[in-house]
Amino acid sequence: MLAQTVLRFQRRGARAHIRHLLKKQHPADVAKMLMELPVPLRGEMILLAGSPDMQADVLSELDAEVAGRIISMLEPEAVVIRIIEGMSSDDAAALLRTFPEDERARLLGLMRNEESEDVEGLLTYRTDTAGAMMTPDIFSLQEGVTVEEAIRALRDAREAREAETVFYIFVVNALEQLVGVISLRQLVVSNPKARLEDIMEREVVTVDAETDREEVARVVEHYNFIAVPVVDEQRHLLGIITVDDVLDVLREEATEDLLRMSGASDLPQRGTSILARLPGRITWMLTATLVAWVISWIVYGWAPVQGNSSDFVSPLSWLVLLPMLIVISITMAMQAAAVAIGAVTLETIPTDAIWPYFVRETGAGITMAVACGGLSTLGLWVMLGLSVAWPLGLSVASGAAVASVLGSGIPLLLHRFHRDPTELGGVIVMCFAAISSSLCGLLVAHGLQ
Amino acid sequence: MLAQTVLRFQRRGARAHIRHLLKKQHPADVAKMLMELPVPLRGEMILLAGSPDMQADVLSELDAEVAGRIISMLEPEAVVIRIIEGMSSDDAAALLRTFPEDERARLLGLMRNEESEDVEGLLTYRTDTAGAMMTPDIFSLQEGVTVEEAIRALRDAREAREAETVFYIFVVNALEQLVGVISLRQLVVSNPKARLEDIMEREVVTVDAETDREEVARVVEHYNFIAVPVVDEQRHLLGIITVDDVLDVLREEATEDLLRMSGASDLPQRGTSILARLPGRITWMLTATLVAWVISWIVYGWAPVQGNSSDFVSPLSWLVLLPMLIVISITMAMQAAAVAIGAVTLETIPTDAIWPYFVRETGAGITMAVACGGLSTLGLWVMLGLSVAWPLGLSVASGAAVASVLGSGIPLLLHRFHRDPTELGGVIVMCFAAISSSLCGLLVAHGLQ
């Protein structure tokens, strides 16, 4: 809606109207509006969004890659630098990561030293680590400071926009090592003459700059933190990671699970093209091809090459059986795997209750396999007559049952041994299921002759 | 590790040791430890975890269903009631939702009135709404109150554990309607004589008690909030929802997507048995069976019933072709769909850039289809000779290409029209892909004869 109004004003050249309209919006809403505009207009429109600081806030709300493309549209360069300087260091670093090496160095060279140093520091950490996620703009005080002095320091930092998100005050010793934490609320209700070291909480959970971002998300989620401090080996305070960054990680992690389940290998790294990600995906596709070929070998070895259509081991009846057996088994395996992974992810299955869960899940799987086998029999009856249909239906049912057991069994087994249940990936689960259910189904069809 | 130590002490009957060990732990860690203990021990062990308030904190960290089972193990009843009263109202309500109606009423009847009223209020909201997620324990003040008085009020509320998570102060008018909000930091740095109405932020984003919890998650994520207030139609302040509850919603929502993709229908409601969820799952399985049957019909209509193995339209070569065609196409469609959904979920594709994305993705899909077709040809060559292998390989490649186009096309089309890209579900995508790729593949095999 906002986007449509802006577009209407833009067509009429009413730039002042746009400026007035955007001034009253939340940066997150302006960011959302920009995403709905045609790409070439985005650069022009962000310049109408309030002060350079507001523009910086809007860019911070955007995906780094999208923000990078907008930045590269803008000129003159002084404006660009002013906006990047207005961003918090972690967002600026994420943005600059999307630029080629030389362009990045050039932009850093144009920035004020105190800003570019922070950003350059963050760029030294590997992507996906706590170091790359954290913001180094932290409000920390010495342990000897009194409550009264702390409040005065907070007031003096008023102009520093970075400190807007202060909920905790981190307490450091003379060596800048983290020794405690105080919530703003504790500070407010404490005796003004008390020293921070007397009222602070000394047991602070921290993460290391090299900690994987998924581990950071787990820590924040586990303790219901608003923010977690990042320290080096000597417990020097390097930065903090706030819960909103963790929300992004969780969303990306969930997408990663979805992709793994479907054999699309990695999370699409923002900024990498589809072609760059092709190697990971194609590996899974070639694996699936090899598995399909193994199934074909099984079929080739046992295939009836003669017989008439009233015989269930005839070429025609097997041709009709194969699609049903394979499609149903694969669907069954994927479904069982997704349910098991979902249950594990939501922590509804404790590690010691996996066996009963598996037994119940297998019961459900067999029920569905019987239902699918029954429906298959009806379908095949129409085509080939009952005497051919029932053994083929039985073959479908047994193949589906095996697929269900493997589909739920593999992720649960991984969970039992404290591994990530999506670790093997959906294609592997599907492959196991496809091979063993074909084997089982064809054995049944063969055995009944 | 904690669980193993506790178990060792428990075997030796060293209850005092356990009590001492648990006293120093964070409630979240004790909760995690309980999940690793055998189910029958959990009730006994939670009673060793510090004061009733600490025990309440531990239960709040657990999944409501698990907590419910622990509570039903405990006695005497007075202890149980004391623990439930110690929980925040939202956690207590979630716990009581897992009990049968009459048992729930009985427990509520035993609780202190001021506690049970809050909980009963929350129980009136539908699950999955903001009302059921919120905590009604809010720190709010009248607009005429001065900063000085506000700080004093905070100090007096020190004993109220609920207010421990205060980061914002909500400002209400004489009618208890929400009129503004002040961050604790703003309060600290303001003139002690100023009135809240002069320094508060008047534009407060709120949610309605009936708002769906996924919408709540979107609001909190969009604005990077720590908490969002819940109001009724007259803007009376009912409660707040904090970001840690939103983390849980996000995790569950992600699992829901995973399940939908695999045709497992709904999110496993905590507390519902596998059998209760069977109807949703079996519907998808029967759909898959019908689709498989349609493919079989196509095969049945075109199937070559004679010919020798050196001919590519012979029963044997089709028997060998079918598994490859189907397994590869399904894998391809699932992969393409997951990548498209992932890209949409992470908001890397703006609505107006869908077409170029689709074109690139189709390019990637065709590349992979050619690779899979090539590998298939090699495999079939071994079995049936080159003159049969290459037309069948071509059939596999064209089927896989169609599957890739549909797999990425369907979710992108849904996104284009502002629908949830997982809406149709993975089974539908897979079914479309399986049918059209079989059709296309068999047409090619047929056409080349």
Using an 8 Å CB-CB cutoff, list chain A residues near B3.
Answer: none
Coil, helix or strand at residue B178: strand
Higher pLDDT, B316 or A92: A92
Residue pair B86/B53 in contact by the 8 Å Cβ criterion: yes
Q: Which residue of A has its CA nearest to B315?
A: A315
**DSSP at B16:** H
Res A266: pLDDT = 53
Using an 8 Å CB-CB cutoff, list chain A residues near B430.
Answer: 331
Contact A299 B330 (CB under 8 A): no
Alpha helix ranges (H) inside A224-277: 243-261
**Structure ipTM over 0.85, yes or no:** no
Residues of chain A with CATH 1.10.357.20: 275-447
* Integer CA distances (angstroms), A409 to A213, A333, A433, B63, B301, in order: 29, 10, 11, 24, 38
Contact A363 B274 (CB under 8 A): yes
Q: Using 50, 70 and 90 to split pLDDT, how confident is the model at A352?
A: low
Res B79: pLDDT = 85
Res A161: pLDDT = 46
Residues A301-326: pLDDT tens digits? 777 776 666 666 677 888 888 888 88
Label the pairing between strands A237-242 and A227-231: antiparallel
Q: Distance between CA atoms of A278 and B364, rounded to whole angstroms?
A: 7
Residues of chain A with CATH 1.25.60.10: 2-124
Q: What is the 3-state secondary structure (H, E, C) of B31-54?
A: HHHHHHCCHHHHHHHHCCCCCHHH
* H or E element, residue B164: none
Using an 8 Å CB-CB cutoff, list chain A residues near B326.
Answer: 292, 322-323, 326-327
Of B285, B347, B352, the CB nearest to A38: B352
* Integer CA distances (angstroms), B413 to A246, B235, B337, B410, B428, in order: 30, 39, 11, 5, 14
For all residues of chain A together, what is the average pLDDT?
82
Half-sphere exposure of A323 (CA within 13 A, CB side): 33
Single-letter code of the amino acid located at A106? R
Contact A339 B164 (CB under 8 A): no
Higher pLDDT, A368 or B274: A368
Residues A374-407: pLDDT tens digits? 988 888 888 888 888 888 888 889 998 998 898 8
Q: Using 50, 70 and 90 to split pLDDT, how confident is the model at A273?
A: low
Strands (E), A216-355: 227-231, 237-242
Res B308: pLDDT = 65
Res A272: pLDDT = 52
Residue pair B304/B378 in contact by the 8 Å Cβ criterion: no
B275-447 maps to CATH 3.50.50.60: no
Instruction: Report DSSP letters for A353-392, one per residue.
Output: GHHHHHHHHHHHHHHHHHHHHHHHHHHHHHHH-HHHHHHH
Selection from A177, A199, A203 nearest residue A188 by Cα: A199
Residue pair A404/A430 in contact by the 8 Å Cβ criterion: no
Res A270: pLDDT = 46
Distance from CA of A435 to the nearest CA of B (A): 10
Using an 8 Å CB-CB cutoff, list chain B residues near A154.
Answer: 185, 188-189
Res B178: pLDDT = 93
Residues A213-270: pLDDT tens digits? 888 988 888 888 888 999 999 999 998 898 888 888 887 777 777 777 666 655 444 4
Selection from A271, A255, A244 nearest residue A67 by Cα: A271
Residues A401-430: pLDDT tens digits? 998 898 888 888 888 887 777 766 677 777
Residues of chain B with CATH 3.10.580.10: 140-242
Using an 8 Å CB-CB cutoff, list chain A residues near B368.
Answer: 278, 281-282, 285
Q: Distance between CA atoms of A295 and B449, rounded to whole angstroms?
A: 25
Res A271: pLDDT = 47
Selection from B400, B378, B391, B382 nearest residue B313 by Cα: B391
- Token pair recorded at residue B113: 């009135």
Using an 8 Å CB-CB cutoff, list chain A residues near B353.
Answer: 39
Contact B376 A339 (CB under 8 A): no
**DSSP at B230:** E
B15-18, Cβ contacts within 8 angstroms, sequence gap of 24 or more = B15/B48, B18/B45, B18/B48
Radius of gyration of chain B (CA): 30
- Residue B141 φ/ψ, nearest 5 degrees: -135, 160
Q: Please check the confidence at residue A73 and state whether its pLDDT lies above 60.
A: yes
Give me the mean pLDDT over the A201-224 stretch: 88
Q: How many CB pairs under 8 A join A and B?
A: 402
Using an 8 Å CB-CB cutoff, list chain B residues near A379.
Answer: 289-290, 293, 296
Of B290, B319, B334, the CB nearest to A318: B319
Contact B303 A323 (CB under 8 A): no
Residue pair A92/A119 in contact by the 8 Å Cβ criterion: yes
Of A252, A274, A352, the CB nearest to B361: A274
Q: Please check the confidence at residue A171 and state whether its pLDDT lies above 90.
A: yes
Give me the mean pLDDT over the A209-214 stretch: 88
Residue pair B54/A368 in contact by the 8 Å Cβ criterion: no
Residue pair B409/B444 in contact by the 8 Å Cβ criterion: no
Residues B387-416: pLDDT tens digits? 888 888 888 899 889 988 988 888 888 888
A2-124 maps to CATH 1.25.60.10: yes
pLDDT less than 70: residues of chain B: 158-165, 261-278, 280, 306-313, 346-352, 423-425, 449
Of B244, B305, B331, the CB nearest to A427: B331
- Token pair recorded at residue B237: 């302040």
Q: Which of A322, A439, A442 to mutate to test the interface with B (most CBs of B within 10 A)?
A: A322
How many other CB atoms are found less than 10 A from the CB of residue B11?
8
- Sheet of A237-242: strand order equals A207-208, A227-231, A237-242
- Token pair recorded at residue A117: 């140093």
The alpha carbon dihedral of B149, B154, B157, B158 has a sign of negative
The listed CATH number (3.10.580.10, 3.30.70.1560, 3.40.50.980, 3.40.50.720) that belongs to domain B140-242: 3.10.580.10
Of A151, A278, A305, the CB nearest to B316: A305
Q: Which residue of B has its CA nearest to A275?
A: B364
Q: Which residue of A has its CA nearest to B344?
A: A255
- Token pair recorded at residue B220: 């909190």
